[in-house]
Amino acid sequence: MKHLLSIADLGARGINDVLHLTDNFVEVSGRAIPKVPALRGKTIVSLFYEDSTRTRLSFETAAKRLSADTMTFSVSSSSVSKGESLRDTVETIEAMGIDAVVVRHKSAGAPSRVASWVGASVINAGDGWHEHPTQALLDCYTIGSRFGLRGDRSGGAASLEGMRIAIVGDIKHSRVARSDVGAFTALGAEVVVVAPPTLLPPSLDGWPVTVSHHLDEVIGTLDVVYVLRLQRERMTEALVPSMREYRTGYGLTAARVRRLRPDALVMHPGPMNRGVEIDAEAADDPRSVITAQVANGVAVRMAVLYLLLGAGTDRVMSVPASAEEAALEDQRGDHKPASSAGPVDGPPAPDDPPARDGPPAPDGQAPTDGQLVTNGQPAHDGQAPTDHRSTNKKPRRRLVPARESSVTGSSRD
């Protein structure tokens, strides 16, 4: 796989590959020196046309922990302010010699356009309302690690089966919701979107979800409540009567958090607006895994960068346990770059097409050869929401048990 533009690029099997590899990078991240030389000699650029705190820092930390060189492009201090186009900007950056571009842009489809212009790998770090695939991967990993799931390389295991996940709030403008619905349902979870009609897309055709307009009716049935921010920067009209009324109907208040099941999880992609979509009592509840999401984000992005630029899905990594060991190897002259790192005991299939056995992404693919969707609206919205799945709680199945990892990021093993 060369690019990661949407969750549909991965399918259930690809998601499982990333989750499985993430285990190793969680272990690396816990070391005294959380760094491996896997991507030494590679250059990764973050190209952020929108504000970001955690996603940009997370990708940059991930790249550094893999020993890649990093470049950061900031729109405000670049020639974009002198009128340079996206295409000229990326071609200029590519001429400097880069291996991957991490793109965030307000227009849906921008990363896909960038991928058509450059030879480097492109990772979508959020495009308009369309997709945010690495957020969905870190969300799957966070849920999975709390409930015992690990990546299952046997092929497309429905690892979140039996789980009921509510995504609450501004679904309409949320790329996180679109990627999460694709990823959670690809892994077998049941997803209910909870929002007022004004904050739902005009059509939920093709979304494998149920819809509720009443958070109080579903709150006690959930394994995960995933809260979204009101993305006011993307709203062109008033879609909620007031923040106070929104909180009353849809906020994860202290009272609602008390009604959650004891083993339920509270999640939020950040940034949070405490007192609006989530109360401090909910964000800081012991069931909240919001900071775990951030921590897992680094390891998940290491896994994604490694898959795209390193040895590929089916290779076994053999990397020094620390930067010191890498330096020692250098002195001995026996370090091998990650792309040829051995032992390689899996079938060498880094270029295999990704499995496409998950359900279709809710809004289909980003436009690949048309114009950018400049209002950020993905292509396939248009009809009234449907509620076609039973809301009865399925019997809870045990998740895939934690597996011993067969891929290791440590030469200590």
Q: Interface residues with ligand NCD (CB under 6 A)?
A: 54-55, 126, 132, 135, 175-176, 229, 231, 269-270
**Residue closer to ligand NCD, measured from CB, 376 or 409:** 376
CA distance to 145, 163, 394, 404, per residue, from 156 (Å)? 17, 17, 21, 18
Identify the bridge partners of residue 225 per DSSP, sorted by sequence position. 166, 266
**Residue closer to ligand NCD, measured from CB, 28 or 108:** 108
Nearest distance from C-beta of residue 33 to ligand NCD, angstroms = 27
Q: By beta-carbon distance, which residue lies closest to ligand NCD?
A: 229
Nearest distance from C-beta of residue 125 to ligand NCD, angstroms = 8
Q: For residues 119 and 157, what is the distance between their CA atoms, to the nearest angstrom?
A: 33
Nearest distance from C-beta of residue 297 to ligand NCD, angstroms = 8
Chain centre distance of CA 340: 28
Helices of type H across 260-359: 280-283, 290-309, 323-332
**Residue closer to ligand NCD, measured from CB, 4 or 38:** 4
Tokens encoding 394: 């399925």
- 97's CB contacts (< 8 A; 6+ apart) are 43
Nearest distance from C-beta of residue 101 to ligand NCD, angstroms = 17
Nearest distance from C-beta of residue 170 to ligand NCD, angstroms = 8
**Residue closer to ligand NCD, measured from CB, 175 or 247:** 175
Residue entry with tokens 């929401």: 385
Long-range residue pairs from 284-291, CB within 8 A, at least 24 positions apart, any chain: 285/257, 287/257, 287/260, 287/262, 287/263, 289/142, 289/146, 289/265, 290/266
**Residue closer to ligand NCD, measured from CB, 231 or 391:** 231
**Residue closer to ligand NCD, measured from CB, 196 or 269:** 269
Identify the bridge partners of residue 72 per DSSP, sorted by sequence position. 46
**Residue closer to ligand NCD, measured from CB, 211 or 230:** 230
Nearest distance from C-beta of residue 413 to ligand NCD, angstroms = 33
Nearest distance from C-beta of residue 30 to ligand NCD, angstroms = 22
DSSP per-residue letters across 129-198: TTB-HHHHHHHHHHHHHHHT----TTS---TTTT-EEEEES--TT-HHHHHHHHHHHHTT-EEEEE--GG
